[in-house]
Amino acid sequence: AKYLVSGKAGTMRRHSNVWRYFKQAARSVGLDDVTLHDLRAMAGTEAERQGIDPTALLGHTDRRTTQIYLRDRTTKVVTAPDKPKSKKAG
């Protein structure tokens, strides 16, 4: 396909239609405040995490522009409480 999101004839969809479909899909999985910018940021951030140049992926010529999209991927790890030890019969 020539476009990531194309119409039936393979033509480019209007931005408003792409946005509408995106919002419907996001809401269907409980994401009410996600944007296309968030999707672009996720792609750039994940590319960088995997060692792929996000500047090229996002089509930027200046790394400073790319920095706008990159997110801190520091994950806070939460550990579950220890499982209670079972009492052995006996």
Residue 57 in any domain: the answer is yes
40 and 26 in a common domain: no
45 and 25 in a common domain: no
pTM above threshold 0.75: no
Q: What residue spans of the chain are helical by DSSP H?
A: 15-28, 36-49, 54-57, 63-69
For 26-46, the pLDDT digits (tens) are 899 898 888 888 888 988 999
For 3-31, the pLDDT digits (tens) are 566 677 777 777 787 888 888 888 998 98
Residue 52 in any domain: the answer is yes
Number of domains in the chain: 2
- The CA-atom distances, in angstroms, between 78 and each of 49, 81, 85, 87 are 21, 9, 21, 27
SS3 31: coil
For 47-62, the pLDDT digits (tens) are 999 999 999 999 999 9
Domain region containing 43: 35-72
pLDDT at 61: 95
39 and 68 in a common domain: yes
64 and 39 in a common domain: yes
pLDDT at 37: 86
